[in-house]
Amino acid sequence: MRLLDRYLLRELLIPLGYCLGGFLIFWIAFEAFSEMDEFQRHQLRAGDILQYLLLTTPELLGRVVPLGLLLALLYALTNHARHNELTAMRVAGLSLWRLALPYLAVGAACGGGLFALNELLLPDAPARADAVMKKYQERTGEQEWHRNLTFFHQAGGRTNVIGPFHFHLPTGEMAKARLLWTLGNGERHEINAERGVYSNGCWHFFQTQINRYPPGVLVPFRLMTNHLELAEFRDPPARIYSEIKIAGLSDLRTARRASLSLREILEYRRWHPAKKSDPVLGTKLHARLAAPITCLVVVLIALPFGAGSGRRNVFVGVASSVFLCFAYFILQRLAEAAGLGGRIPPWLAGWLPNLLFGVLGVALTFRVR
């Protein structure tokens, strides 16, 4: 790394740390005060409140990091321009794009960090935060059951129906399960079980009644068994949990707030090939892919306004880029809503803000003299 790159990075990272810290403190304090009534109603202690706020932080970082990076870039670039440092560097033969390489590297690192955060922590964070909120709430056990679920299992070109059944989210167990299962020879099994447990790579059912319908036979043979191992049924409880999360996407408001990882979306589309053209899943997929690029777009937005501020009012450049950044987030929300509603293609809903503002930032940067 050249001495100049180290200097530019140092002048950026210090204000970036202050901006991120300031935004986080502001947002966490706002969240704490807005939820204070809920904390008191659920009788949370100080440690529980801290844990709840930490679990809500990953979602906040998706907004805080781009805004903090924008303000830090504007501060650093404006400071360099005010002291004519950028002019001296460009007179020495360095282009503005060459000077922007350290900033683009920081943007790429922030985007990569947000991508990892979105994939590893964000999908489960809302459920874990809700569990902390209800930690001391009296439970009867009924609240932990998701009832009357149904999904379809594909095996050997056959579609088996699992459901309706009740699913216990903390343990991943089934209760009152009904299965319509077809064997390779065409024999149909109607299975009713009191309980189902996933173990050793397949599902085991207990207190089971099986109605067997051989091919061409209308009257079933009835069997009773205490334990039935269904070796073909290998879908883990994680799939059922995914079904529960994605089932709520039919409501537009729920779909906009849903936190799904790329792995969950791709696995669901693999389990449900007919859903590959679903606009909600497609929009969520492309929005998740495009999210890390936001930090790079922020760099492209800040570059022309910060680098050219030496010849004009500093506040004009700062206000203009901040306005463009908020316009970016507004367009992002509008495009996502249009994609979820099927009004525009999913790929366009996910990538439109990045494409539009990225091209705008590049065009304005080329105009900087």
> What is the percentage of the chain residues whose pLDDT exceeds 70?
90
| Mean per-residue pLDDT of the chain | 82
Write the pLDDT tens digit of every residue in 127-177: 788 778 877 765 545 556 778 888 777 766 677 788 888 888 778 889 988
Mean pLDDT of 187-203: 89
pTM for the whole thing?
0.76
Confidence band, pLDDT 50/70/90 cuts, at residue 197: very high
Confidence band, pLDDT 50/70/90 cuts, at residue 41: confident
Mean pLDDT of 30-40: 85
Model confidence at 64: pLDDT above 80? yes
Mean pLDDT of 109-133: 84
The CA-CA-CA angle for residues 163, 165, 171, to 5°, reads 130
Mean pLDDT of 84-94: 83
Confidence band, pLDDT 50/70/90 cuts, at residue 106: very high
Model confidence at 317: pLDDT above 90? no
Model confidence at 308: pLDDT above 80? no
Confidence band, pLDDT 50/70/90 cuts, at residue 345: very high
Model confidence at 255: pLDDT above 70? no
> Which of 92 and 251 is assigned the larger pLDDT?
92
Model confidence at 21: pLDDT above 70? yes
How high is the pLDDT of residue 102?
Answer: 92
How high is the pLDDT of residue 325?
Answer: 74
